Structure 1
């Protein structure tokens, strides 16, 4: 072969290999950095959140292997029941625990957990199994106090899959999933179609287990949600069967559900519908 042609061919092969190498490097980066992409905690603010100045809101610490989890608990002796709240992938309790008055008026206590690395919780999230074990530990720390009273398992966005998995195990009076997703794999396929699904270490398959929730399931989704499409809630409603209902909120996106008067009115109605202790 002509040496000049041989050099050209080697150069062409090199150019063809560069995109493949970059692609493999990108996949390797995603494999090791998934936690940074999926979990986005904010540091605890230097000033104590106003909610902690209220006499019926208490800080709770839950010890788990390798970490100590921080939680906040609106707790009153006359409460009808409990809402066990699993929040989304950003922020921390300082930004999430802001609607205590709503639950007071509804007659329910509120327990909210910060995951590992969020706010004052120590440690870091390293697997889906670890994350679910932490949720179970928090549940075990608070649920026995509400024996004989209705308990609601509530999950928002990221927390919706955790809530659904917990509800299968603990059989709450009501499961609330707000801005949920079918699975992290389905969400990734929509937003990052170039990423092989086998690469995901946090599949979070709500769609595979929601039919096993024995009690009523209430789904809520903003019709203007551009992060998680309302079609995810539609698919989950169908998978859950006759026990599930879906509230679609007009002109509501992903991060402003809690500001919707229609949502708050409907949530209050759901809580009022639960049986008395």
Structure 2
């Protein structure tokens, strides 16, 4: 018996909708994943701590904007990789207090964030840009005195960078197992491994990291599941997992347990 026309039409519409959603995600994934806040080129930064504004050329036509916090008699450098939103103005205000431990801090904006030029089109650009700027900082700091610090989305970039270099330590705040796993958590209906250009395989990078690894995660994080970070910590025998009871995605630095542990790491 032939399938009724109306059933065929319904099935066809369902398939079209599914493919439309998948194709739409693929085309719009940068807009869905990243939420940058642009700044005018003449914007003047103001922070409580001493700093200078810097620029790094990552290609012939693209320069990335950075903030370099400086302290007297510096113990080294915190190389900071921020999350998927805002810009260095926001993150600078959030992390400048880490200079109290005697470290300079370098944080830069990704392509299309803040004052930075260019536009994000693929993960390789993020990883390559971080590598270029890190290599520039190696001209100014001994690598044994550099701590790579990743927050949220930046943890995947930080883990890969530590995998290919030899920093003093790697700090991951609110990390994910890998980005494919994170997309599946929020968009289970999408074939994430097939359509996303951003995979951030932190789980593959971590096992060959030779420096001490510290992972911070809040038990109430709704953006990156607690279990995602816990699974990640189990991949490296020397990784230390610091659980922040009641912590969410953006407030870990306010908790006494976080302050105690970060003081132990940086002190």
- Could you list the runs of 5+ residues in structure 1 that have no partner in the other structure? 273-277
- Change in CA separation of 1:245 and 1:220 when aligned onto 2, cut-off 3 Å: same
Which residue number corresponds to residue 253 of structure 1? 248
Tell me: CA distance 1:143–1:49, structure 2 relative to 1, closer, same or farther (3 Å).
Answer: same
CA distance in 2, matches of 1:148, 1:250: 33
Decide whether the 8 Å contact of 1:44 with 1:94 is kept in 2: no
Structure 1 equivalent of residue 51 of structure 2: 57
| C-alpha separation in 2, matches of 1:188 and 1:103 | 31
What is the TM-score of this pair, normalised by structure 1?
0.90
* Equivalent residue for 2:66, pick from 55, 71, 74: 71
> What is the 5 A alignment of 1:132-147?
132-147=127-142
Q: Compared with structure 1, are the counterparts of its residues 123 and 229 closer, same or farther at alpha carbon in structure 2 (3 Å cutoff)? A: same
**1:268 counterpart residue number:** 263
| Large movers: runs of 4+ above 6 Å | none
| 1:223 to 2:219 alignment | yes
The residue aligned with 2:10 is: 15
Match of 1:201 among 197, 200, 219: 197
User: 8 Å contact 1:222–1:253 — kept in the other structure?
Assistant: yes
Q: Shift in Å at residue 12 of structure 1?
A: 2.6
* SS of equivalent to 2:204: coil
Q: Which residue of structure 1 lines up, in the alignment, with residue 113 of structure 2? A: 118
Give yes or no for contact 1:154–1:175 (8 Å, CA) kept in 2: yes
Q: Number of matched residues?
A: 264
Query: Which of the pair has more CA radius of gyration?
Result: 1
Deviation at 1:240, TM superposition (A): 1.4
- Structure 1 position 99, deviation (Å): 4.4
SS in 1 for 2:97: helix
1:95 alignment counterpart: 90
- Between the aligned partners of 2:67 and 2:99, the Cα distance in structure 1 is 15
Q: 2:208 aligns with which of 197, 208, 212?
A: 212
* 1:275 alignment partner in structure 2: none
